[in-house]
Amino acid sequence: MNVKMSVVVRTVADIMVVPIVVFGIYLILHGHLTPGGGFQGGAVVASSTALLIVAHGAMKDNKTDLSNMESTGLTLFFLLAMVGLIMGFSLFYNSLAGTGGIFGGTVSGINPGYINTGGTIPLMNIVVGMEVIAALSLILWMMAKRSGSLEVEK
Amino acid sequence: MNWFNFFPLIMVVTLVIMGLYVVLFKKNLIKMIMGIAIIQNGANLFLVSLAYREGYVAPIWTSAPATDMVLPTPHALTLTSIVIGVATTALMLSFVIMLKKHYGSINSDDARRCRE
Amino acid sequence: MMLYYILQVLILIGLVSTAAAVIWFKDLISAAIALGASSLILALQFYLLRAPDVAIAEAAVGAALTTAIFIFAIKSTDRTEGYK
Amino acid sequence: MIVLTILYILLAVSIIFNGLGIIGLHRFPDVYTRLHAATKCTTFGTIFMTFTIMVYGGAMYYWYPAQEQYLNMVIHTFVALIAILVTNPTGAHALARAAHRVGVHPEKAVLDHLADKEEKE
Amino acid sequence: MIDFSYPLLLAVGIFFIYILISAIRIFLGPTAPDRAVALDTINTMVVASMVGLGAATWETLFIDIAIVYAVLSYITTLFIANYLEGVGSK
Amino acid sequence: MDDFKRFFSTFLLALGTYLILTFAAGVSIVEGTPLWGYEQLVLAFSVALIVASVTSHILCRKDDFRMLNPVRWGIMLVYLIPLFIEMVKANFDVAYRVITGNIRPGIVRIKPGLEKDLSITLLANSITLTPGTLTVDVDEDKKELYIHWIKVRKNPTETISGRFTKWIRRFAE
Amino acid sequence: MALVAYLFYQMGESSYKKTRLKGDPFISGNRPSKDPRDIHVGGDNLYWGFTHALRKYLDPLVEGHTGIVNDYVYWFVVTLAFVLVFLYLLI
Amino acid sequence: MKKIIAVIALIVISAFLFGGVVEMRNQDGGGFGNPVETEMDEYFLENSQDHNQVNNVVTAVLFDYRGLDTLGEATVLFSAVSGVLTVLRKTISSKEGEE
Amino acid sequence: MNVDLLLQSPVFILGIPLLFAFLTPLADKVSKELRNAVFIIGLLLTALFVSLMAYEVYTIGSWTYVFGAEDPTAITDVSFFRITFLADGFAVLATLTIIITAVGVGIYSFGNMKDFDDLGKFYTLFLLTLAGVMGMVLTSDLFNLFVWFEVTSIASCGLIAYHNERGESVEAALKYMIISVIAGLLLLFSIGFFYGEYGVLNYFLIRDSMDGAFIDILAIGLVMVILSMKASSVPMHMWAPDAYSEAPDSITPFIAITSLGSLFVLFRLIFFVFRGAVEPSSIGNLLIILGVLSMFVGVSMALKQSDVKRLIAYLSVSQIGYMMMAVGVGFATLGTADYGAFGVNAVEGGFFHMINDGVYKALLFLSVGGIIYAADTRDLNRLGGLAHSMPFTTFFFIIGGLSIAGIPPLSGFSSKLLIYKSVYLYNPVLAIIALVVSIVTLALIGKIFFNAFLGPDQKIGMKIPRSMILSMGVLTVIIVIFSLFPNYVVSEIIAPAIEALGVAV
């Protein structure tokens, strides 16, 4: 009872997937400068999964990859939080802020937004984004599978 | 604008009471989950309303027009509660799907094999 | 900022009336549509309250994903409320 | 100021067409005609709204070239415009097709080739 | 420097009234597709309002939310259409 | 070769989207211009690579790579102008009908003679964008479109899609 | 304590006499079963008299546990209202 | 009977909540749009750029000042996914669910 | 500046289960042995860090861990704007209770669940629940409490519905989920009220700024009802029998432990935060009312049960009542001379009963799980004669049952004696009710014992795995230790906990 929507919808969905994913990644990467962040960007990327499911009614089985991605993201998140602890501070101490290098720049007052600031915060955004993408995609995948609106592509 | 001072918060309470009404009196399980979603919306709106300051800007320094900002903490709390909300909704709905598979009904009057 | 107040009042009325629609509909798919509209308007209210992060999260989660999950659930159960 | 005049005109067009779409949503008899009014008049009105913002931001950037945020605003509004332009007609098409599949037939229709075809099958 | 905030806010207020009027169609609409049409209309109006508000309050970053909306509301519409097609073809 | 083409088109689309989104944000390579900084460019290329390697199987499912040609893009941008004029004209038409309620609807079948998915999609969307007509269904085998017309007249194929078909055939077919 | 015990005894006794045919002589019948399940006293039979004597108290309690989700929420809400009023009045 | 009691309880709760939201910041003369002076948020707003070199204060609050909440939130999502995968997995009795 | 690793131990008590829960799905892809190893290493490491924290608290004293600060233990005037953990006697009591049960249940699960596939998710959810409860009892921030509350709810619901081929499991999980989600949302509301009124979220700052206004009453009422619901107090207990009886056998004590955890949180909140804002007697009386109702209704409903797990579930509801009543009596006398006379004894009894209850309830549920594993039925009408084939389980059940009924040599007696003694001084009626409930509890334990273990041998004894016996043995040894040295336990574990709440005599 899975529904394959009309050719118009499918073509537009195929074209829209890449911009949606890129836009979500933009939200994740610029989370420390503009509204957005790991959760919001992850949700936007995950909705591209929803788009594919709804347009084609079929999708590749990438549950294992998604599950691995989720666990990896969370583990990395915890380890990033542990960076401060290992250096002798407490958990979640932002020990990379202002130390130079990528994401280590300094900033003050109103500014146009420099991408290389924030210390561990952009990195945490990225790993949380990975986790959220995988988690929400997995939820959508499982529920679509159960409700019979998804065929597994080979 | 005295009357307006509490209007959003009163609407928040209205939303919560509506959600509780659904959960108390509607028998359909999916409808009950929708009621819970309404309560979630009310709670999120409540937290964000607490953060609002008249005439202030969003707490982002990137090309901000002024320096006075609304309170950031409730925004962070609300983000957390939104994600928790979608997680609980998904889990409850998957329970309902399994319940339909086993019991053939999503009416709460039928889902009472555990009782006494 | 009288106009700003009026905007918020309009939005809140819309929010509560769509929530009432969710309660009122017997057809669950219509209720899901109303819930989507409700969270849509809620995101607009977040926008007015200067909470852009929350507005994006509500837009992405409330508008797209929650409706999708509800529709999947309705698809695998019954569409109408009440006994058949 | 000529820019202000242009802005007012664009904004007025936007409001008028959005309003026409809303009126059509209530005035027309069935789903398809409502789709005509609702999704496309509002698309047209929203396009003009984005034009307003783009002209506004462009003028501001022209006057204050150091403020790159205005240019950023114009670009992002343009992206929103493209998104609206691509997604809205597709959504309308999907809804119309779904409505026909559900069995909603156009009211007062003078001819219906699609229903004929489905009958044949 | 021109100040165009007030007309934009006024326009957004009118759009909000339009949203409320469309919400009436969600109540009334005899069939589910009608309600979906109303939802689609509200989506478009919300995008317009967000764009306008972002420019009116000088917070240029807020346009991002409008983009998110413009893209994601479409997915909601597709989901509803997909469900209705599935019901119809059964 | 097809795999590479697919990868490359996805890569270009992702790169373009990312660069447009980050245009005029933050520091720039050249002082005083709204271009991108070094970090932005590095991130843009890595993001495009990642996205292209993950989602390359989605775009161009039917190995249709003619849109890689930049000339076609130019024609497509030019096409927006007649489309917009058509939209303006027809919008006033619908405005008239909204006010007076003078409608005579019906679903008609047209056969535009286009073959590719992309061209049919573009035609359908153009038809839908111009008020008065609305694509209801697409017959994928016969390449026919079923169109809801708010005021049915004679000779639907020519009246509805005549001008669009010429343009679309020029760049998408 | 003893008084309570005696009350229970009385309540049990009154129904016991009515329902049981006390004086029936045992004439004949089947042989006792060899199956251990039949010899063993089941869970419902143990303390039968006790629960039967208390049925006026237990039955409404058992009926209160309907197993419907709405009732769970109902009790939650009612307790919430009660606690709020209680605290408000006492403080 | 039950319904009446439930409605009464709802009215009591709503009365308390209404009283709460009206009473909440009454001593400062402001309600919505005029919150109480909070040292905590002022501290966040003033120091987030110093401590974290980050422009978006909400992100700073999310990942530094209240980082443990974010870890918990990600954990909630993770446990919800684990729960969904557990609940919707192929049951032993039914064979038609294949994955 | 390097901080002593021991002072970082609260982080690891929460973090080790989380990290190992994240790693379990990855290990599951590799091999089953690796997954099991990850699971058991995570549990044992957590236990190790709990004991390290206990050692540190008892030798050096309690401290506050500040997240995200440069120095985690230095307290400045901005430290409480961040999330903090409290490592004190009370936290040690709570974490100790939780980890004993968790280790017991974890070892038991190896044997009990070995016939099922797809156990990676099971262990993941187990560790997540553990982390959630640990976070609940350790944290001293209201919103953080909400987050761990939700983690606990979601993960334990996933565990309850683990047997998804049974409709009843899914039903019980859904019911528990709905009510705990509503409770969580109302908790969010009370957090909003606190934040709106005072602009702070930390326990310390809320305690310092509370002034007994209307908002305080509202928020306190919400928090109390929500946490009592989670603790399965009557009349909001109805989810508990469903959830306890339908959860997998090995996991049931762990679901019960989440109830105990929220009870710990409730006591921490009323003693530590709300004490100054309200009249103690009101909250104390409320707790007494709820406790007496729980004791009485729980045990009465247990009388009618023929399902053995449901019966013990109702007994556990009634045991929750003891704790609430005892601590309520202690709280009601707070600030008066009575507190020194008998109130502190009541609180001691309540806390001692909590740690006892955690252990013997686990033992009871696990031995019943052994019965079900062997006989493959839960119906008391069909069970019987298991003592012939299962001598160990019979022995463990006797120990646990006598302990729950409060029979003299065992640990349940010591705590119940403290409760009776002090409650009698407050109000004799309460003590009499407690005694009656205790007697009926003994009768019900006798019922299970008679029905399941005695009687003719029905030859349905299946051999139960060795790890199940091992874990029950460990719990029995702990009960015996508690029984032999009750004075030591009270003076070394309970007294520091009461002192940490700031209410020592």
Strand residues in chain G grouped as ranges (E): none
- Asked if residue F66 has pLDDT above 80, the reply is no
| Rounded mean pLDDT, H27-38 | 68
Dihedral sign from CA coordinates of I118, I124, I125, I130: positive
In angstroms, rounded to a whole number, what is the distance separating the alpha carbons of residues F89 and F102? 17
Q: Which residue has the higher pLDDT, A87 or I16?
A: I16
Q: Is A100 exposed, middle or buried (0-12, 13-18, 19+ CB in 10 A)?
A: exposed
Put simply, the answer to whether I161 touches H79 (Cβ < 8 Å) is: no
Nearest CA in chain H to G71: H2
List the domain boundaries for chain D: 2-120
The residues, any chain, with a CB within 8 Å of residue A86's CB and separated by 6 or more, are: none
Best of E61, E62, E68 to mutate (most B CBs within 10 Å, chain B): E61
Dihedral sign from CA coordinates of B62, B66, B71, B74: negative
| Rounded mean pLDDT, F135-154 | 82
Q: Is F16 exposed, middle or buried (0-12, 13-18, 19+ CB in 10 A)?
A: middle
A20 inside domain: yes
Put simply, the answer to whether B57 touches E61 (Cβ < 8 Å) is: no
Residue F35 Rama label (left phi>0; alpha psi -120 to 50; beta): beta
Report CA dihedral (D20, D23, D26, D30) to the nearest 10 degrees: -30
Which amino acid is present at A10? R
H/E element holding D98?
Answer: helix D68-102
- Asked if residue I8 has pLDDT above 90, the reply is no
Put simply, the answer to whether B61 touches A107 (Cβ < 8 Å) is: yes
In angstroms, rounded to a whole number, what is the distance separating the alpha carbons of residues D25 and C69? 28
pLDDT digits (tens, 9 = 90+) for I306-355: 888 999 999 999 999 999 999 999 998 888 888 888 888 899 999 999 99
Phi, psi dihedral angles at C53 (to 5 degrees): -60, -45
Sequence-ordered alpha helix ranges (H) in B27-72: 29-51
DSSP string, A10-54: HHHHHHHHHHHHHHHHHHHHTTTTSS--HHHHHHHHHHHHHHHHH
> Which residue, chain included where needed, has tokens 């700073």?
H60
- Structure letter (DSSP) for residue I7: G
**A50 in contact with chain F, both atoms CB, cutoff 8 A:** no
Confidence label for B50 from pLDDT (cuts 50, 70 and 90): confident
- Asked if residue I266 has pLDDT above 90, the reply is yes
Residue A31 domain boundaries: 7-153
DSSP string, I61-87: --EEEETTSSSTT---TTGGGS-EEEE
| Rounded mean pLDDT, F35-47 | 86
**C60 in contact with chain A, both atoms CB, cutoff 8 A:** yes
For residue C61, list chain B residues with Cβ-Cβ distance below 8 A. Answer: 82-83, 85-86
- When the pLDDT of each residue in chain I is averaged and rounded to a whole number, the result is 89
CB pairs under 8 A between C and E: 113
In angstroms, rounded to a whole number, what is the distance separating the alpha carbons of residues A83 and A98? 15
Put simply, the answer to whether B71 touches H70 (Cβ < 8 Å) is: no
pLDDT digits (tens, 9 = 90+) for F90-100: 788 877 877 88
- With beta carbons less than 8 A apart as the criterion, state whether I346 and I422 touch: yes
Structure tokens at E53: 């508000």
Quote the distance between the C-alpha of residue D58 and its chain's center. 22
A45 inside domain: yes
For residue C47, list chain E residues with Cβ-Cβ distance below 8 A. Answer: 50, 53, 62, 65
**D69 in contact with chain B, both atoms CB, cutoff 8 A:** yes
- Structure letter (DSSP) for residue H62: I
In angstroms, rounded to a whole number, what is the distance separating the alpha carbons of residues A105 and H2? 64
Best of C17, C26, C40, C77 to mutate (most E CBs within 10 Å, chain E): C40
> Strand, helix or coil at I457?
coil
> Strand, helix or coil at F135?
strand
Residue G58 domain boundaries: 47-91
In angstroms, rounded to a whole number, what is the distance separating the alpha carbons of residues H66 and A94? 12
For residue F20, list chain D residues with Cβ-Cβ distance below 8 A. Answer: 75, 79
Residue E48 domain boundaries: 5-89
Structure tokens at E80: 């509803």
Report CA dihedral (I134, I139, I142, I148) to the nearest 10 degrees: -20
For residue B24, list chain H residues with Cβ-Cβ distance below 8 A. Answer: 6, 10
Angle CA G10–G11–G16, to nearest 5: 90
- With beta carbons less than 8 A apart as the criterion, state whether F40 and A115 touch: yes
From H32, H38, H83, residue closest to B71, measured CB to CB: H38
Best of E5, E60, E72 to mutate (most B CBs within 10 Å, chain B): E60
Structure tokens at F44: 């843009």
- With beta carbons less than 8 A apart as the criterion, state whether D15 and E42 touch: no
| Rounded mean pLDDT, B29-37 | 93
Distance from CA of A99 to the nearest CA of C (A): 27
**G7 in contact with chain H, both atoms CB, cutoff 8 A:** no
In angstroms, rounded to a whole number, what is the distance separating the alpha carbons of residues B16 and H14? 9
For residue H21, list chain C residues with Cβ-Cβ distance below 8 A. Answer: none
- When the pLDDT of each residue in chain G is averaged and rounded to a whole number, the result is 75
| Residue A148, strand partner residues | none
For residue A144, list chain C residues with Cβ-Cβ distance below 8 A. Answer: 72
Distance from CA of C64 to the nearest CA of E (A): 5
Q: Which residue has the higher pLDDT, A147 or I289?
A: I289
Best of F94, F122, F153 to mutate (most D CBs within 10 Å, chain D): F94
Structure tokens at B71: 């309170």
Lowest mean pLDDT among D61-65, E86-90, G60-64: E86-90
The residues, any chain, with a CB within 8 Å of residue G13's CB and separated by 6 or more, are: none
| Per-residue pLDDT tens listing for chain A (154 residues) | 577 788 888 888 888 899 999 999 999 998 888 888 889 999 999 999 888 888 888 888 888 899 999 999 999 999 998 888 888 888 888 888 878 777 788 888 888 888 888 888 999 999 999 999 999 999 999 888 888 878 887 6
Structure tokens at A86: 């290992």
Confidence label for B80 from pLDDT (cuts 50, 70 and 90): very high
From A39, A112, A143, residue closest to B62, measured CB to CB: A112
The confidence score (pLDDT) of residue H97 equals 43
From D18, D53, D63, residue closest to E55, measured CB to CB: D53
The structural domains of chain B, ordered by start, are 3-103 (1.10.287.3510)
In angstroms, rounded to a whole number, what is the distance separating the alpha carbons of residues B41 and B19? 10
Q: Which residue has the higher pLDDT, I237 or F36?
A: I237
For residue I281, list chain G residues with Cβ-Cβ distance below 8 A. Answer: 90
pLDDT digits (tens, 9 = 90+) for D43-52: 888 988 999 9
pLDDT digits (tens, 9 = 90+) for I125-184: 999 999 999 999 999 999 999 999 999 999 999 999 998 888 889 999 999 999 999 999
Distance from CA of E80 to the nearest CA of D (A): 8
For residue H58, list chain A residues with Cβ-Cβ distance below 8 A. Answer: 37
Contacts of B among chains (3+ CB pairs under 8 A): A, C, D, E, G, H, I
Q: What is the CA radius of gyration of chain G?
A: 22
Find, among A66, B39, I435, the residue nearest to H77 by Cα.
Answer: A66
In angstroms, rounded to a whole number, what is the distance separating the alpha carbons of residues A115 and F25? 9
For residue I124, list chain H residues with Cβ-Cβ distance below 8 A. Answer: 79, 82
Dihedral sign from CA coordinates of A100, A103, A109, A111: positive
From H53, H88, H97, residue closest to A105, measured CB to CB: H53
Put simply, the answer to whether B80 touches I147 (Cβ < 8 Å) is: yes
- When the pLDDT of each residue in chain E is averaged and rounded to a whole number, the result is 86
In angstroms, rounded to a whole number, what is the distance separating the alpha carbons of residues D71 and D62? 9
The confidence score (pLDDT) of residue B78 equals 93
Best of E6, E49, E69 to mutate (most C CBs within 10 Å, chain C): E69
Q: Between the CA of residue F62 and those of A13, A151, F58, F76, what are the distances in Å?
A: 14, 19, 10, 21
Chain B residues with a Cβ under 8 Å from any Cβ in chain E: 57-58, 60, 62-65
H/E element holding F149?
Answer: strand F144-149
Q: Tell me the pairing of strands A58-60 and A151-153.
A: parallel
Put simply, the answer to whether A131 touches H85 (Cβ < 8 Å) is: no
Best of G48, G72, G75 to mutate (most I CBs within 10 Å, chain I): G72
Distance from CA of A154 to the nearest CA of H (A): 13
- Asked if residue G26 has pLDDT above 60, the reply is no
List the domain boundaries for chain F: 2-63, 69-172
Strand residues in F19-143 grouped as ranges (E): 106-110, 133-139
pLDDT digits (tens, 9 = 90+) for D31-45: 888 888 877 788 888
The confidence score (pLDDT) of residue C1 equals 67
- With beta carbons less than 8 A apart as the criterion, state whether D67 and E5 touch: no
Number of domains in chain G: 1
Confidence label for I34 from pLDDT (cuts 50, 70 and 90): very high
> Which residue, chain included where needed, has tokens 């014992």?
I449
Phi, psi dihedral angles at A138 (to 5 degrees): -65, -40
- With beta carbons less than 8 A apart as the criterion, state whether I366 and I472 touch: yes
Q: Between the CA of residue F40 and those of A28, F20, F35, F129, what are the distances in Å?
A: 14, 12, 10, 36
The confidence score (pLDDT) of residue I1 equals 44
| Rounded mean pLDDT, C18-45 | 90
The confidence score (pLDDT) of residue A1 equals 56
**A30 in contact with chain F, both atoms CB, cutoff 8 A:** yes
Put simply, the answer to whether I192 touches B43 (Cβ < 8 Å) is: yes
The residues, any chain, with a CB within 8 Å of residue I326's CB and separated by 6 or more, are: I291, I346, I347, I349, I350, I353, I418, I419, I422, I423
G82 inside domain: yes
The confidence score (pLDDT) of residue I148 equals 94
Find, among A98, A26, I429, I258, the residue nearest to H53 by Cα.
Answer: A98
- Structure letter (DSSP) for residue I162: T
Number of domains in chain E: 1
| Rounded mean pLDDT, I259-269 | 92
Phi, psi dihedral angles at I379 (to 5 degrees): -85, 125
What b/e string do you get for I155-181 counting C-beta neighbours within 10 Å, with b at 16 or more? Answer: bbbbbbbbbbbbbbbbbbbbbbbbbbb
In angstroms, rounded to a whole number, what is the distance separating the alpha carbons of residues I437 and I298? 9
Put the strands of the sheet holding F144-149 in their side by side order: F106-110, F144-149, F133-139
> Which residue, chain included where needed, has tokens 């309570």?
G4
A1 inside domain: no
Distance from CA of B24 to the nearest CA of E (A): 23
Angle CA I157–I162–I166, to nearest 5: 110
Distance from CA of F69 to the nearest CA of D (A): 21
Strand residues in B1-116 grouped as ranges (E): none
The confidence score (pLDDT) of residue C16 equals 92
- Asked if residue D77 has pLDDT above 50, the reply is yes
From B58, B64, B97, residue closest to A110, measured CB to CB: B64
The confidence score (pLDDT) of residue H95 equals 43
From D69, D72, D87, residue closest to E70, measured CB to CB: D87
The confidence score (pLDDT) of residue G21 equals 52
Angle CA B11–B12–B13, to nearest 5: 90
Put simply, the answer to whether A112 touches F21 (Cβ < 8 Å) is: no
- SS3 annotation, I49-61: HHHHHHHHHHHCC
